[in-house]
């Protein structure tokens, strides 16, 4: 039987109808063309009969050439024959299934972390709408690159941190995709297997920790508005952006806690007595919705407003050239660990995972343990 859909000329002569015009590919498989009204290109669909004799269908989209459509249909049929699900499963659905699996296995904290990453980067993005078997290496690589902080004001530490964060997001994403592969929702991992993490970005800068003398010198070199921001960073070890978005009403003096909002969502954390006194002074006579910390122009801080003035203070204090505001977070977390605080508590306060605390600050615990062991009389 002549092929009625292998050329545009033939397809244009077809009568528009709901049912596709089919062309067999092999036994139990076919590619079809649905003719639309008007002059526009029609749509293509694939058909495959499973072992139980049930027909399965997959919309392929728009193609100008029959050979391209037939190739897409054969690829789908082959994946079905290899055991992959014939149903369309989106990347978002894959990620949701991964979160559900983590919860079912009792890994609630990991599930919450994964949900936060997917909510920010996948669920409402174009990549989340893709069928998993349509996911390409270039799509994931672009997804990775879009996470990198590379504006004109970025420095080396900004770049390192954004790449390090992107690497962690990729690891979580790949875990979800690999689970989908094991569950036969897709026949191959070719779409993501060769996407690599950014190299040599996990190691924190050696000049990220500031000694007490360096902190004092830095505070003395800061103008009054920046000094408050620096003190706040050292007192609670939060991310700079969390302090920039902090309102006066986010401080609960009676309970001695702050509610912070940042890239990991909202969290309420306990603060020290010194921090409570500090924030009590900062929010004095302010309405609840007013910014807690502002520039000398009464505006909220942001990266553009603190970067140059902070660098000037670093230079004036004669600190290492690479010190950035984020180093104060590292310094505060380091001091918490050195004081003997549990990693779980520190992770909750800092809005990060225990795994990250152990990976980046675990070595500091050795000195704490050594000090405790030295206090024990063995003989």
- Could you tell me the pLDDT band of residue 243, with boundaries at 50, 70 and 90? very high
Mean pLDDT of 224-242: 95
Mean pLDDT of 33-62: 82
CA distance 177 to 171: 10
Give the tens place of pLDDT for each residue, 204-223: 555 578 999 999 999 999 99
- Could you tell me the pLDDT band of residue 98, with boundaries at 50, 70 and 90? very high
- 26-30, 184-188, 255-259: least confidently modelled range: 184-188
pLDDT at 365: 67
Give the tens place of pLDDT for each residue, 319-338: 998 888 989 999 999 999 98
pLDDT at 183: 77
Q: Which residues contact 362 (CB under 8 A, 6 or more apart)?
A: 343
Going across the sheet that includes 257-262, the strands are: 251-252, 257-262, 265-270
- Could you tell me the pLDDT band of residue 155, with boundaries at 50, 70 and 90? low
Give the tens place of pLDDT for each residue, 266-296: 999 999 999 999 999 999 999 999 999 999 9
CA distances from 373 to 234, 334, 341, 365, 378 (A): 29, 20, 16, 12, 9
CA distances from 270 to 80, 127, 285 (A): 53, 38, 23
Strands (E), 250-347: 251-252, 257-262, 265-270
Mean pLDDT of 150-175: 79
Position 37 pLDDT exceeds 90: no
What is the SS3 assignment for 25? strand
Mean pLDDT of 345-352: 90
Position 154 pLDDT exceeds 60: no
Nearest-CA neighbor of 176 among 97, 272, 90?
Answer: 97
Count of CB atoms within 10 A of residue 121's CB?
Answer: 20
Output the six-digit token pair for 330. 């590292």
Mean pLDDT of 245-249: 96
Mean pLDDT of 290-314: 94
- Could you tell me the pLDDT band of residue 153, with boundaries at 50, 70 and 90? very low
User: Nearest 5°: phi and psi at 342?
Assistant: -70, 145
Query: Can you tell me which residue has the tokens 């978005």?
Result: 245
Position 317 pLDDT exceeds 50: yes
CA distance 184 to 73: 18
Mean pLDDT of 137-157: 77
Q: Are 228 and 282 in contact (CB under 8 A)?
A: yes
CA distances from 100 to 71, 111, 186, 266, 308 (A): 35, 8, 19, 22, 44
Residue spans of the domains in the chain: they are: 8-81, 91-182, 206-374
Position 351 pLDDT exceeds 80: yes
**DSSP state at residue 249:** G
Mean pLDDT of 12-34: 90
- 36-40, 321-325, 347-351: least confidently modelled range: 36-40
Position 157 pLDDT exceeds 70: no
Mean pLDDT of 28-43: 82
DSSP 345-363: HHHHHHTS-HHHHHHHHHH
Nearest-CA neighbor of 47 among 73, 11, 75, 79?
Answer: 73
CATH of the domain spanning 206-374: 1.10.443.10
CA distance 306 to 324: 10
pLDDT: which is higher, 376 or 265: 265
What percentage of the chain reaches a pLDDT higher than 90?
51
Mean pLDDT value across the chain: 87
Output the six-digit token pair for 41. 């290109």
Position 339 pLDDT exceeds 60: yes
Q: Are 46 and 80 in contact (CB under 8 A)?
A: no
Give the tens place of pLDDT for each residue, 71-96: 888 888 887 887 766 676 899 989 99
pLDDT at 274: 95
pLDDT at 152: 39
Nearest-CA neighbor of 175 among 122, 250, 218?
Answer: 122
Q: Are 1 and 18 in contact (CB under 8 A)?
A: no
């Amino acid at each position: 039987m002549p092929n009625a859909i292998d050329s545009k000329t033939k397809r244009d002569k077809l009568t528009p109808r709901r049912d596709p015009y089919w062309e067999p590919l092999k036994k139990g498989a076919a590619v079809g063309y649905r003719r639309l009204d008007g002059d526009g290109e029609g749509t293509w669909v694939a058909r495959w009969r499973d072992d139980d004799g049930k027909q399965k269908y997959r919309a392929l989209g728009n193609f100008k050439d029959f050979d391209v459509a037939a190739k897409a249909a054969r690829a789908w049929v082959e994946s079905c024959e290899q055991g992959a699900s014939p149903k369309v499963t989106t990347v978002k659905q894959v990620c949701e299934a991964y979160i559900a699996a983590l919860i079912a296995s009792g890994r609630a904290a990991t599930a919450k972390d994964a949900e936060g990453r997917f909510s920010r980067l996948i669920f409402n993005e174009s990549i989340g709408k893709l069928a998993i078997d349509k996911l390409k290496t270039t799509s994931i690589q672009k997804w990775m690159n879009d996470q990198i902080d590379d504006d004109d004001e970025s420095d080396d530490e900004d770049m390192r941190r954004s790449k390090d964060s992107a690497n962690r997001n990729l690891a979580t994403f790949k875990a979800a995709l690999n689970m989908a592969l094991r569950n036969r929702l897709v026949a191959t991992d070719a779409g993501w297997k060769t996407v690599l993490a950014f190299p040599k970005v996990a190691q924190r800068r050696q000049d990220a920790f500031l000694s007490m003398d360096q902190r004092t010198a830095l505070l003395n070199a800061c103008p009054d508005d920046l000094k408050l921001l620096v003190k706040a960073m050292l007192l609670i070890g939060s991310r700079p952006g969390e302090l920039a978005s902090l309102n006066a009403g986010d401080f609960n003096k009676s309970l001695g806690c702050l509610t912070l909002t940042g890239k990991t969502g909202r969290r309420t954390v306990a603060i020290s007595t010194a921090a409570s006194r500090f924030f009590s002074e900062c929010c004095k006579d302010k309405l609840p919705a007013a910014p807690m910390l502002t520039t000398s122009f009464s505006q909220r801080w942001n990266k553009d407003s603190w970067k140059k003035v902070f660098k000037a203070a670093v230079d004036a204090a004669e600190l290492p050239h690479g010190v950035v505001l984020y180093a104060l977070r590292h310094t505060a977390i380091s001091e918490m660990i050195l004081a003997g605080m549990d990693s779980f508590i520190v992770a909750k306060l800092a809005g990060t995972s225990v795994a990250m605390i152990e990976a980046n600050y675990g070595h500091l615990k050795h000195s704490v343990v050594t000090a405790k062991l030295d206090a024990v009389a063995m003989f």
